[in-house]
Structures are given as structure tokens and as C-alpha cells.
């Protein structure tokens, strides 16, 4: 089944060129099935790039996914046009009375700032509190995963000696949990961050389970007992060239940056990076949608009268 978006969303054409079935609003309105409704709080500066990455990741499922992009009212985006935001995004205050099957909160380039000094921290706290009562399961990515652990559990973050940057191997820790069903024992995932949360702090909370971690990159995947909160410390949705673009951007700015590890063939930045994480990234998103969003949606979220035609 397809991703459902607004008919003129710019990334729709790119997805269609990749043979990903993207359904516009008009066609979707004629399908007699219940889509799963996913809200995406996109905190990344280059919002269209992130839209493409996440929609691509959500596409590998037999379910129809209806996406609502959410923008923050307390932060002015300087890298995405106001016309794009006004046309394709809704303010949190406009959707806070609704219920969603799933919520994704993306990473953000504010890791080195104390949480309370981030200008939109109060609004993010409102969203995270709201998610406990209006969302079946929330997927937190990178900075959002650290921020949610801090907000919900008081788990601190720690600054790393240098940026964790590259493709790292991870080992699955608990195969009985459906979120990692289909994973190999060892899998790769991208990381791009300056801070971390530590396993010893997570293990103090009995309702949190570490599902995957890396000797080099630390904790990668955590879930709470009922699957309503999933924390991903890396970026399984990243494209082949995302780390390359980050590396070249920082290098051109003269910032202290090393090559992303395990990324370029022969560690040669002129060569095309190897794509080593796409399959497990797709499995992660598909498992989340299936086991923690679709199958776990409370009965009262569903308009059964509309489904049955009564």
C-alpha cells in the first residue's frame, strides 16, 4: 500500500521516480480501507530532505500510511521556505485535539545545547506529554530520542570527546521483541551526533529495554514495556550521501570534522559511499508500523461505523 501525501508535495515526484507508490489525496479518498495516521514533527533544518528520507522509510509496508507534517510555532525555520511550511505543515496547536496511530519526532542540530536552552524546548515538552494520551506509539530519532529519555525518565546526555560520525556495526540484544524481528545478529546504522546517553542510566529503569547496541557507538535502540515509546539513537532513514554532504559542508566551513568511518570505499571520499544500512532501516520502520502502530491501535481510535458502512 502507498504513502498518502498532499498531491503537490515536492518529494512525491522523487518517490514516484523510485517506484515507491505515493497516493495523492484524491485517489486515497476512494479507497475503502482505514489508513494509519502518522504525524511527523520535523525538526531538521533541511526539511524537504528529511521528508524524503522518512517517507521512503515508511513505504515498505502493506499498510496505507496517511502522513501529517507538524511544524513548531516557537521556532522560525531559516533553511526551508515559509511557503513550503505554510502549504504542507500544520502547527501543533492545530492538531493537538486529534489522535494519531503513530508519531515520529526527528533529530535536530542542537545536541550541544542544554535542553532547557533550546528555544522550542517548552513546545517539544508539550508534544511529548501530549503523545502519551493522543498517540499509540512514538518513534524518537537521534536528538529527539535523547530529549525524550530526559523528559520522560530524567536520563541525562553526555558530550562525546568527538563527533560520533559514520556507519557502525550493532548487535541485537533481545530477539523476542517484535521491533527487531528479521534483523541479522549484526547490522549497520548511521550515526551523526555529539552526545550520547549511557546504558547504565537506561538500565536503572525496569520498563526500558535495550534492543541493540554497538561497542563503538553505544546504545542504538531502546523500547519501553508497552511499545508506546521507541528510541533510536542513530539515523536508519539516512540516504546514501547524507553523511557525505554533512562531511563536505563542515569541511568547507573549516570546522573540525573527520571522515565518517566505515563509509567510503578504501576511506576515499571521492568514491561513492557504500549503502550498508537500508535493509535493516526498512525492517525497523516496517516492524514499528506493523507491531506497535497498526496492531496496537486502541479500538476507540477506529471509526468502525465508517469502515463497515453502517
How far is C-alpha 39 from the chain's CA centre? 11
> Which of 43, 93, 91 has the alpha carbon at shortest distance from 70?
91
Of the candidates 111, 235, 246, 280, the residue annotated as catalytic is 235
Strand ranges in the chain using DSSP code E only, listed in sequence order: 3-4, 22-23, 36-41, 65-71, 89-91, 100-105, 135-141, 158-172, 186-196, 208-214, 218-224, 229-232
Backbone angles phi, psi at 283, to 5 degrees: -65, -40
Q: Quote the CA–CA distance of 240 and 115 in Å, as a whole number.
A: 30
Q: Rounded to a whole number, what is the largest CA-CA distance in the chain?
A: 64
Q: Where are the alpha helices (DSSP H) in 198-263?
A: 199-202, 242-252
For CA atoms 177, 180, 181, 185, the dihedral sign is negative
CA distances from 261 to 120, 143, 145, 235, 306 (A): 32, 20, 23, 15, 51
Q: Which residue has the cell 486502541?
A: 298
215 is catalytic: no
20-to-23, 26, 33, 91, 192 alpha-carbon distances in Å: 10, 18, 19, 28, 27
Catalytic residue (choose from 48, 51, 111, 237): 237
Active site residue 125: no
Catalytic, 18? Answer: no
| Catalytic choice (123, 142, 196, 246) | 142
- How many Å apart are CA 97 and CA 105, to the nearest integer? 18
Residues carrying an active site annotation: 142, 235, 237
Amino acid at each position: 500500500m502507498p504513502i498518502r501525501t498532499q498531491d503537490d508535495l515536492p518529494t512525491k515526484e522523487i518517490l514516484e521516480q523510485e517506484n515507491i507508490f505515493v497516493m495523492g489525496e484524491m485517489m486515497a479518498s476512494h479507497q475503502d480501507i482505514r489508513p494509519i495516521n502518522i504525524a511527523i514533527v520535523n525538526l531538521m533544518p533541511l526539511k524537504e530532505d528529511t521528508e524524503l528520507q522518512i517517507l521512503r522509510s515508511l513505504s515498505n509496508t502493506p499498510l496505507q500510511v496517511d502522513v501529517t507534517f507538524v511544524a513548531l510555532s516557537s521556532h522560525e525555520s531559516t533553511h526551508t521556505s515559509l511557503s513550503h511550511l505554510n502549504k504542507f505543515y500544520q502547527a501543533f496547536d492545530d492538531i493537538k485535539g486529534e489522535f494519531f496511530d503513530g508519531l515520529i519526532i526527528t533529530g535536530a542540530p542542537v545536541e550541544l545545547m542544554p535542553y532547557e536552552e533550546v528555544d522550542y524546548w517548552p513546545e517539544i515538552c508539550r508534544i511529548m506529554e501530549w503523545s502519551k494520551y493522543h498517540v499509540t506509539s512514538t518513534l524518537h530519532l537521534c536528538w529527539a530520542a535523547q530529549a525524550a529519555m530526559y523528559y520522560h525518565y530524567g536520563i541525562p546526555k553526555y558530550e562525546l570527546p568527538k563527533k560520533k560520525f559514520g556507519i557502525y556495526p550493532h548487535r541485537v540484544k533481545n530477539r523476542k521483541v517484535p521491533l527487531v524481528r528479521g534483523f541479522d545478529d549484526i547490522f549497520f546504522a548511521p550515526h551523526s551526533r555529539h552526545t550520547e546517553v549511557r546504558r547504565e542510566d537506561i538500565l536503572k529503569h525496569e520498563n526500558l529495554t535495550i534492543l541493540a547496541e554497538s561497542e563503538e557507538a553505544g546504545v542504538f535502540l531502546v523500547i519501553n514495556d508497552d511499545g508506546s515509546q521507541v528510541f533510536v539513537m542513530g539515523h536508519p532513514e539516512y540516504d546514501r550521501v547524507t553523511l557525505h554532504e554533512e562531511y563536505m559542508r563542515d569541511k568547507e566551513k573549516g570546522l573540525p570534522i573527520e571522515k565518517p568511518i566505515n563509509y567510503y570505499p578504501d576511506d576515499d571520499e571521492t568514491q561513492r559511499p557504500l549503502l550498508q544500512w537500508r535493509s535493516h532501516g526498512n525492517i525497523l520502520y516496517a516492524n514499528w508500523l506493523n507491531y506497535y502502530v497498526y496492531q496496537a491501535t486502541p479500538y476507540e481510535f477506529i471509526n468502525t461505523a465508517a469502515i463497515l458502512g453502517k
